[in-house]
Amino acid sequence: MRDRLGKFEVVRLLGRGAMGEVYLGRDPKLGREVALKVITAGSVFGDEAQARFEREARAAALLNHPHVVTVYEFGEDEGLHYLAMEYVHGEELETLLHSGKVSKAELLEILAQVCDGLAYAHEHGVIHRDIKPANVLVNRHGKRPRAKLMDFGVAQMGPSGLTQAGTWMGTVSYMAPEYLDTGKATTSSDIFALGVILYEILTGGRKPFTGETTTLVLNRILLHPPDPISSSDLKEVPSQLLMVAEQALAKRPEDRFPDAEALGQAIREAMKVPGPTSVGTPPAPPAREITGQRIRVGKGGNGHCLSLKVALRQAGPGTEILLLPGTYRESVVVDKDVVITALGEPGEVVIEGVAGPALLIQTRAAQIRGLTLQGIADSPALRVSSGAPTFEGCTVKAGTTCAEIQGTGTAPVFRNCAFLAGGPVALRVEAGTLVRIEGGGILGFQVTGVDVGAGASVSMQGVMVGPGDGVGLKVRTRGQATLDGCTISADAGSVEVEADARVQLSHCRLMDSHYAGLLALEHSQSVLESCDIGAHACAGVHVLAGANVVLRQCRLAGNAGFGASIMDRGLATMEGCLVQANGGTGLLIHHGATVQARNCTFSEGRSLGVDCSDGGQGVLDGCEISGNAGAGVQVEAGGSLLLVRCTLKEGLDTGLLLLEDSQVTLEECVVHRNARGGILLAKEAADPVMRGGNRIDDGFLRVDGGGNLVRVAPVQKS
């Protein structure tokens, strides 16, 4: 390395990376030390490294904040580009996180300072896009740590940014779900990354979304809640920080903190609580929700009473009731707006019903944290008959139905709860009821995992349903269900939608049943977006009479039967779907059904790609049908199909097979490299209508009167 870069003296090498090197430098005029970042000569990253340098210089030029590293100059010296910036005598937050030498309280103050610096950057239109501990330098200002956010090399400035939309920039473990999904970064994407760092601080360096490969990490960020934080992780800090982390790591941007400043304030407010408020995993409720009265229940530990029933009689609205570890054999009616919190590890505080449900909720806004509820024979463990209680980190177990939610207008919320059913139903939501489920699991059921009653409504986010012997989710007449990021694996089918019911599924996985991933019954409506549907014995999607199903960007793969079967008078709209490697026909358009498919792929099936049977009709626009063992497209007697800008290729049989009395129109289509031929016509089949310059490389074949295949010339029609 040369002795000088521009006006700066080069002192020594500080570090080396894939794109460049960092040197300690000195400004001889001002006598101050600087960090000099340069692009490595001959770097394979070349132009990208230079573009990042320029981006970092332009971004940092907009910023002058005590918690952002200052960039002094961007220059070129004899073809070598360099960046001169503030030299910070300190260590990376990444090192401090894993060293064990710095308390969690101090690390949290460092993170709050990073929030301040990032908030300033956001105010000036700069989105960092690579927030991570390695990009935070920490030094000492007296006894206090001082954080400096650095490396704006992948930053986005202004609404358009400096990279193409859809291009990921940054470090995968810290990327927000919407950024992974679209490639478009926002200020909320940076807040999600701060949430990952907060989680790492609380857990001593663990990441919230883990996997052996990058693909598994991406999957967990997109579809699963963060790994649980144990009680031992919260011994040094107030458990309110768990709620802060959960909000910062919310899947939806609108559920996170509105800005980085608000996140920093929440961290500092939580740290004002004098010591951990609970040794259990559930977070204590915010102070504004408690009147200041606390009642401790249990033997030893300075318990005020031995019974939850007694504690409830003594409690006023807003009282926090703390339950010490143990099994409480009593059936309790909660008819006051109290907070009931379990102390201890998960499963150590058990309420076991003796005459009816373990808990019967009859109040507007009770909060239940960390309890295990155990039902008895013929009685649920939990029944909510009115109000909108909140359950967090609870386990609900029963030999029959785990939980029953009743009452018009009831709207309970379950966060990270587990429903372990030993009987027919895990969770039953009765008519007129609203329920929200966030995270957690539902398993062990024999008939239904979540049973949404007539007119009821359920919202589920990041929930694991199954394994279980029955149907994972059943939505009854006029019921509604909205699922985001859920996984359902149940023996009798993933989702069943009855007459006039509605479901909407986004980023869900419907897997591994002996029937169908989605069963849409008469006159139901279903919308599935970015879902993965596979390993079902009958069909990925099975649509019955009068049902209406919309599939957008879904993957229907590896089903032993059909990919999608649309039956009598069913209606299906498919857009951007991949239907692949199914044992039966990829898409079956049955008698009287109608299908519109646009930009879909039907490939590598062990049977037909698309089969339009008697009375079925469909339009395929911009679709690819390739590599199927049977005909790419088969149109049976009475079937009607329009193919526009479609490609039928590389099949092991015929590209297009037309039977007697079928009606087919091809417009600007390509048929080539099919093993048996391009278009095969049965003996009495009518020629397809050909419009707009089709390319049929494999030729036309027809079955003659003797059953032989003969080549014929196509008929071009306008």
Closest to 119 measured CA to CA, from 97, 84, 147: 147
**pLDDT per position as a tens digit, 108-148:** 999 999 999 999 988 888 888 889 998 899 988 667 889 99
What pLDDT, on the 0 to 100 scale, is given for residue 274?
55
Whether residue 330 is predicted with pLDDT greater than 60 in this model: the reply is yes
Q: What number is the average pLDDT over the span 152-156?
A: 50
Q: What percent of the chain has pLDDT over 70?
A: 88
Alpha-carbon distance 253 to 257, whole Å? 8
Q: Does residue 166 have a pLDDT over 50?
A: no
- What local confidence, expressed as pLDDT, does residue 281 receive? 35
Rg over alpha carbons for the chain, rounded to the nearest Å, is 31
What pLDDT does 714 receive?
57
pLDDT tens figures, 391-448: 999 999 988 889 999 875 667 899 999 999 888 999 999 987 889 999 999 998 999 9
pTM, whole model, 2 decimals?
Answer: 0.60
Mean pLDDT along residues 345-350:
88
How do residues 188-201 score in pLDDT, each as one tens digit?
999 999 999 999 99
Q: Is 58 helix (H, G, I), strand (E, B) or coil?
A: helix
Cα–Cα distance list, 321 to 67, 197, 309, 333, 349 (Å): 42, 32, 11, 14, 13
The alpha carbon dihedral of 60, 64, 70, 74 has a sign of positive
**pLDDT tens string 284-324:** 333 333 344 789 898 765 678 889 999 998 888 888 999 99
Q: How far apart are CA 454 and CA 378, in angstroms?
A: 23
Distances in whole angstroms, Cα of residue 14 to Cα of each of 9, 75, 235: 14, 19, 37
Q: Is the pLDDT of residue 41 over 70?
A: no
> Residue 76's pLDDT band (boundaries 50, 70, 90)?
confident
Average pLDDT rounded to a whole number, residues 219-241: 83
Please indicate whether residue 130 is annotated as part of the active site: yes
pLDDT over threshold 60, residue 378: yes
Q: What is the pLDDT of residue 285?
A: 38
Q: How far apart are CA 697 and CA 288, in angstroms?
A: 74
Domains contained in the chain, CATH given: 4-86 (3.30.200.20), 91-271 (1.10.510.10)
Of residues 503 and 346, more confidently modeled:
503
Gap between the Cα atoms of 481 and 500, Å rounded: 12
pLDDT reported for residue 152: 65
What integer pLDDT is reported at residue 217 of this predicted model? 86
* pLDDT tier for residue 667 given thresholds of 50, 70 and 90: very high
Residue tagged active-site, from 27, 77, 130, 484: 130
Q: How far apart are alpha carbons 133 and 149 in whole angstroms?
A: 9
Q: What is the mean pLDDT of the chain?
A: 86
pLDDT tier at 279, thresholds 50, 70, 90: very low
